[in-house]
Amino acid sequence: ATILAIESSCDETSASVCVDGRILSNFIANQTVHEKYGGVVPELASRAHMQNIVPVVDAAIKKAAEIHDSPFTIHDIDAVAFTQAPGLIGSLLVGTQFAKSLALALDKPLIAVHHMQAHVLANLIADPKPGFPFLCLTVSGGHTQIVLANSPYDLKVIGETIDDAAGEAFDKSAKLLGLPYPGGPLIDKYAQQGNPLAFKFAEPQIPELNFSFSGLKTSVLYFLQAQQKEDASFIEKNLNDLCASVQYTIINILIKKLKKAVKQTGVKNVCIAGGVSANSGLRKELKENGDKNGWSTFIPAFEYCTDNAAMIAITAYYKYLNKEFAALDISPTARAEW
Ligand code: ATP
Ligand code: MG
Ligand code: FE
C-alpha cells in the first residue's frame, strides 16, 4: 500500500510518502516566525501551515517519484493519513482539512493518526528495529511518557509526567540561563564543555513510573537568583557547568524511571523517541545503561525523532493493514486519550 501522510500538530509542516512500510520521502518545513516570541504562537503556526501545506505535499510526492520504481503521481496513493491529535487545534485543523479534502477528491480512504503513538512507532521506520514487546521513553516538547508496545496496535502508557515535559524542562531552564528558544539543543551544546556535577538541582520523588519537572525549573530559578545577587555575571562565567548540571539532572530523572520500567515489565528492548532524544547526553546514557544491563537499545534517526510525517506514515501503514479508516466527518482534537 502507498500512503501519503501529513503532520501539522505544532510548528512543523511535514508530508511523507511510504510504500509498504518503506519511507520514500519525508519533507519537513520548519517555521521560523516563532523564534522572536520565545515559543510557538498558535495563530502564526496555523497561518504558516496554510502557506506551507501545498508546497510541502507537492515536494514529498515529487521526491517519492524520483525514488519510486515506476512512474508515480498523487493518483497512485492508496490512502491519505493525517495527525488527528494531540496538538494545537488551529494547526491540526489545517492538516485535517487538507487530508479530508484530498481523500474526497481522490476517492481514497482516510487514516487518522495519534501523534504520540506515531513518535513511538518511529522506531519501526529503519533498521535495526526493536522486536515486540518494547519499551519506549517518549521525550518531546509537550510530553514525557513511558510506553509499553506489545504490537503496533497495542501501545500502553505506563508512566508519564504530572506537570512539565522533559523538553519544556530543557527549554524553560535555557530561558532562565538567557538562551534563545528552543533552548534544548543549546543546553546540549554547552553541556559538552561543562561539568555535570558542578551544581546540584532538585530531583523530585514521584511515585510509580511517573515524572515531574516543574520543581527542577523552580530550583534552577532560585539558585540563579541567589548567585546572581552575589555576582551579576555568574551565569556568563558558569554557563557550560550550568548547562551540564541541568542536563545531568533531567537525564537522571528519565533514566531512573526507565530502569524501573524495565524491572517492572521484564522487557529489555528499550527505545527512545521525540525531540529530546536528539540530546547527546541522553543517547550516551541510554547506550551505556543498555550495555551495562543487557538491554537492546534503539534510537530513531534524528529526522524521525522531532516532528515529521514519516512517523505518521508508518503508523498509518499498520492501520491500513488493519483497515482502520476514518470517516470524512472526523475532527481534530487538541487533547486525546489513546
Ligand atoms: P509533542 O510531540 O509533545 O507534541 P513537540 O512535537 O513540539 O511536542 P518535538 O518537536 O518532538 O516536540 O521536540 C521538541 C523539543 O525537543 C523541544 O523542547 C527542544 O528543546 C527539544 N530538543 C531538541 N533537540 C534537543 C537536544 N539536543 N537536547 C535537548 N532537547 C532537545
Ligand atoms: Mg516542534
Ligand atoms: Fe511531537
* 3-59 pLDDT, tens digit each: 999 999 999 999 999 999 999 999 999 998 888 888 899 999 999 999 999 999 999
CA pair distance 335, 271, nearest whole angstrom: 24
CA pair distance 247, 225, nearest whole angstrom: 19
Which residue in this structure is represented by grid cell 558558569?
A: 238
Return the pLDDT at 248.
98
pLDDT tens digits in sequence order for the chain, 338 residues long: 999 999 999 999 999 999 999 999 999 999 988 888 888 999 999 999 999 999 999 999 999 999 988 889 999 999 999 999 999 999 999 999 999 999 999 999 999 999 999 999 999 999 999 999 999 999 999 999 999 999 999 999 999 999 999 999 999 999 999 999 899 999 999 999 999 999 999 899 999 999 999 999 999 999 999 999 999 999 999 999 999 999 999 999 999 999 999 999 999 999 999 999 999 999 999 999 999 999 999 999 999 999 999 999 999 999 999 999 999 999 999 998 88
Q: What residues flank ion ligand 3 with Cβ within 5 A? A: 140, 307
CA pair distance 21, 315, nearest whole angstrom: 9
Q: pTM of this prediction? A: 0.95
Return the pLDDT at 35.
82
Q: In what order do the strands lie in the sheet with 12-19?
A: 22-30, 12-19, 2-7, 79-85, 110-114
Find the 54 Cα to ligand 2 centroid distance in Å.
Answer: 20
CB of 276 within 6 A of ligand 1: the answer is: yes
Q: Which of 248, 276, 258 is nearest to 159 (CA)?
A: 258
Find the 227 Cα to ligand 3 centroid distance in Å.
Answer: 35
Residue 142 annotated as binding? yes
Helix (H), strand (E) at residue 263? helix 234-265
* 124-139 per-position pLDDT tens digit: 999 999 999 999 999 9
Find the 83 Cα to ligand 1 centroid distance in Å.
Answer: 17
CA pair distance 112, 92, nearest whole angstrom: 11
What is the atom index within ligand 1 of the atom nearest the CA of 183? 20
CA pair distance 27, 38, nearest whole angstrom: 25
Omega prior to 133 cis, within 30 of 0: yes
* E strand residue ranges, the chain: 2-7, 12-19, 22-30, 79-85, 110-114, 134-139, 144-151, 154-160, 269-273, 296-298
Strands 79-85 and 22-30: unpaired
Residue 215 annotated as binding? no
CA pair distance 81, 100, nearest whole angstrom: 9
Find the 244 Cα to ligand 3 centroid distance in Å.
Answer: 25
CB of 100 within 6 A of ligand 1: the answer is: no
Q: How many helices (H) and strands (E) does the chain have?
A: 10, 10
CA pair distance 97, 80, nearest whole angstrom: 12
* 80-94 per-position pLDDT tens digit: 999 999 999 999 999
Query: 52 is written with which cell numbers?
Result: 506551507
Which residue in this structure is represented by grid cell 534544548?
A: 184
Find the 234 Cα to ligand 2 centroid distance in Å.
Answer: 31
Query: Is residue 314 a contact partner of residue 304, using CB atoms and an 8 Å limit?
Result: no
Query: In angstroms, what CA-CA distances link 262 with 134, 180, 265?
Result: 10, 36, 5
Query: 73 is written with which cell numbers?
Result: 503521481
CB of 242 within 6 A of ligand 1: the answer is: no
CB of 133 within 6 A of ligand 1: the answer is: no
CB of 286 within 6 A of ligand 1: the answer is: no
- Ligand 1 test: best mutation among 13, 41, 170, most atoms within 8 Å of CB? 170
CB of 184 within 6 A of ligand 1: the answer is: yes
- The burial class, CB within 10 Å (0-12 / 13-18 / 19+), for 292 is exposed
